[in-house]
Chains A and B, each alone.
Chain A
Amino acid sequence: MNRYPLWKYIVIVVALIVATIYTLPNFFGETPAVQISSSRQSIPVDTALMGRIEDALKANKLTPDGMYLDGSSLKVRFKDTDTQIKARDVIQQTLGDNYIIALNLLAASPTWMSQIKANPMFLGLDLRGGVHFLLQVDMKAALDKTMERYSGDIRRELKNKQVRYGTITRAGNTLVLQLRDKETLNNAADIIARQLPTLTQNSDDTSYKLTLTLKPEEITRLQSDAVKQNITTLHNRVNELGVAEPIIQQAGADRIVVQLPGVQDTAKAKDILGRTATLEVRMVEDDPAKMAEAMAGNVPVGYDLLDELTPRGPTKILVKKDVELTGDNINDAQPGFDQNGAPAVNINLDSAGASIFRQVTGENIGKRMAMILVEKGKSEVVTAPVIRSEIGGGRVEISGSMNAAEANDVALLLRAGSLAAPMQIIEERTIGPSLGKDNIDKGFHSTMWGFAAIAVFMFIYYRVFGVISALSLGCNLLFLVAILSMLQATLTLPGIAAIALTLGMAIDSNVLINERIREELRHGFPPASAIQAGYQHAWATIIDSNVTSLIAGLALLIFGSGPVRGFAVVHCLGILTSMFSSVFVSRGLVNLWYGRKRRLASISIGQIWKPQQ
């Protein structure tokens, strides 16, 4: 009666093997490494790059311990931090500015383990040290900017179609357009409906007022775009810090979390995150004589020799010092396609920008104009297209000789010239690396001693059944750590506390079972059926009590933030693994130990005391 069919044992053994494999990487420690990733989509990190780095390292007599491509980044391991730092410098010199080169620590587990995605748990900032920021995106400013753009667009459209209008006034998210009579009102309404379909119209026939409101779906789109835009801009800036595994995520509707593990200098991090880049449009000088002079190191007065970012690496380009237009006049830049279906970048200018642009392009047909990103006092030419005709209306399309990835890069860089909306830091945490180390030790010791105390007590009180309970509790810990490693969940100090607490609570199931078996024995059941009845009766109670715990855990998961969520994730997973290990696995062990015997005379579950009748 106390026998498991073979498949149940197989399930247990397989689960244990898998769990052990996925838990193991946590014990191998870490080795220093250099991580190389591309700062632009159009510049790939591939085997060719790997070869270049290999050669460069060989030339400098540095031998890497291993090198592999991981998604979009290349990781090179080294024996010690000394070689790591030397290698970083060598790689930086070889590759130049188009790559992000960061120092990192990689799990020292064998390669076959990383190949089956058996990686150590991801440690939270409170365990590894680093900086955490919570940024709030100022949505009002983003909306203001959009409404400004709309009123400019309306002015331009009406002027082009020669519809006379009075004033445009803005109140929050609505624009009110004053017209002189019914005819112009209808004309204006028609034009706006055709050109700007994202506005809802409401016309008043008696006072000839046209009220325009942004459609709600347009507002949501704007907000999510603003956050996305800020996230990409932040990514670019964080890359410059050389952080190996930055986390930049949207949190809620209008917030962004930035976590920089290992960074200690908050002031510098903040400086870089909060920096504003500007975009300048300047004319290119293609006169070969002047160019030759500049290349010889003698840049003519009134000109700058700048780097142009091309997929084939930076090339030199000579531009005039006069700034024709700045990023302030750019409302938006998006990758798209031209009439022939070739990748293009679409730029939207505001009304002031549009009229300047018309003038500049009109005067310089056939010449090139450069779009320059100025950041941290350093100027780079993002793109330098040839002007084919005069461009009015504020809609500019740059196309030709670029693929979709490049168009994406250019649009991103142009947008970076003007953040979609200002941001404000509303939460900041810095955790020193020594504190992180302390926290790991403390969490580990708490769990270890608590576990030991429980195991010793269980053994003394329940004997063989106590050993089985402690073993299944150990399995529970193994499963929990394995699942956390598999999910690559972030382990924090509250997470470790949750592991400890979950173990402390999981033993409840085994106590329930053991007490129930004792009770059945007290009532005079033979041992074999006492085991059977004990497990059976305890099961209903175990389900009920675990489900109620799970309800609490899920609510924490949904409504918790920060440390509470870290706690809840582990707690919920722990409840699930505990049901498996304390019932299924422990029963397996009991069956293995006692189930083989044909006649079970007694079982070792501690002393059974019977009241004298």
Chain B
Amino acid sequence: MEFFRIKRDIPFMSYGRLTTTISLVTFVLAVVFLVIRGLNFSVEFTGGTVLEVQYAQAAELSDVRHRLDKLGMGDVAVQNLGTSRDVMIRLPNKGNRSSAQLSEQVMQYLKDGNTQVDLRKVEFIGPQVGQELVTHGLTAVILVCIGIMIYLAVRFEWRFAVAAIIANMHDVVIILGCFAFFQWEFSLTVLAGVLAVLGYSVNESVVVFDRIRENFRKPAMRGKTVAQVIDNAITSTMSRTIITHGSTEAMVLSMLIFGGAALHGFATALTIGIIFGIYSSVLVASPIVMWLGLSRENLIKPPKQKQEAVV
């Protein structure tokens, strides 16, 4: 079986202007959503208390809300979590009530009138912790970028490093944009997913770059333009690209289906990351490398000229 029966190299580079424009538009849209709507940060970042409870029968959310009004906490978020029996309750950080007291009180209100309900999980995060997570997360992103750029600049060339990072950041911003647009909860696990995408998506660019470098060295490729060399590199790695990402996505889909609420955000972030990762490394990173003025000489060191005797 062979999926890809490509007779001629596909002229990806001639679509470069179109594909990068599409990217630019999605990127700008993502930034706009991030600014306007913002991320729906989980309690780990904002601080507060989250309870997860499980009812014996399907839970009536309005009834739960009504019961919790007695707490006098104001902004109480109540929502289903995966199934209709699982309910998540989010309470803000207020007053000096400890979370143990708070969770006991909540359970007492919920159990009023013999309702069968089980406490599954309580999470309380003080306000100090959230701010740190944000700074640490950003530091991690910046460090990953710097590390990858240095590695690519040493192994390849600075143009590749710049192109790979632009393509990468584009993926990350789009994932964040999606989370902002749909107001999906952005938790620490999602952050781990986003950072994993950073490493994963650069893989894709590296495989293509590797092929470009190899092509420049091939005698058969001599005389071809830079665009043609890149086109050939992308076409010949195409089959691998689709199969690898398909396999990874199979794993991620499996997490999305079987992983339950706890892994949902993580798997979603990775799914978006994988789709845009393919797109950006093929159709964004490569055109950028070309526009940055890549030439054969950049990758192949000129042979040393022999010293001749001068009179």
Contacts and interface: CB of A to CB of B under 8 A. Distances in A.
Interface stretch (A206-214, A368-376, A541-549): A541-549
Contacts of A427: 124-126, 129
Interface string B200-232: 101100110011001000000000000000000
A559 B140 contact: yes
Interface stretch (B27-35, B59-67, B100-108): B100-108
A445 B126 CA distance: 34
Given A438-B260, A544-B206, A515 B120 contact: no
Nearest to B253: A450
B195 A552 contact: yes
Contact of B98 (A270, A432, A442, A612): A270
B247 interface: yes
A494 B192 contact: yes
B171 to A, nearest CB: 12
A550 to B, nearest CB: 8
Contact of A450 (B98, B189, B255): B255
Interface stretch (A163-171, A284-292, A395-403, A500-508): A500-508
B19 interface: no
Q: Please indicate which of the listed interface residues B6, B144, B188, B255 has the most CB atoms of chain A within 10 Å of its own CB.
A: B255
* The 4 nearest A-B residue pairs measured at CB: A552-B199, A504-B251, A426-B126, A450-B254
Interface residues of A, number: 79
Chain A at the B interface: SS class: helix
Interface centre among B132, B240, B247 (most CB of A within 10 A): B247
Majority SS at the chain B contact face:
helix
A438 B81 CA distance: 14
Interface of B: 1-2, 5-7, 44, 52, 54, 98-101, 103-104, 118-126, 128-129, 132-133, 136-137, 139-140, 143-144, 147-148, 151-152, 155, 188-189, 191-192, 195-196, 198-200, 202-203, 206-207, 210-211, 214, 236-237, 239-240, 243-244, 246-255, 257-260, 262-263, 266-267, 270
A545 B156 CA distance: 13
Interface string A474-512: 000000000000000000011001001101110110011
26 contacts: A134-B126, A266-B122, A267-B100, A425-B98, A427-B124, A446-B257, A446-B258, A453-B254, A454-B247, A494-B192, A497-B267, A500-B252, A500-B255, A501-B255, A504-B248, A504-B250, A504-B252, A540-B210, A541-B211, A555-B140, A555-B195, A556-B144, A559-B143, A562-B44, A607-B1, A608-B2
A461 interface: yes
A457 B118 contact: no
Given A432-B119, A493-B263, 4 more contacts: A504-B252, A547-B151, A564-B195, A611-B7
Interface of A: 126, 134, 136, 266-267, 270, 424-432, 434-435, 438-439, 442-443, 445-447, 449-451, 453-454, 457-458, 460-461, 493-494, 497, 500-501, 503-505, 507-508, 511-512, 515, 518-519, 537, 540-541, 544-545, 547-556, 558-564, 567-568, 571, 606-609, 611-612
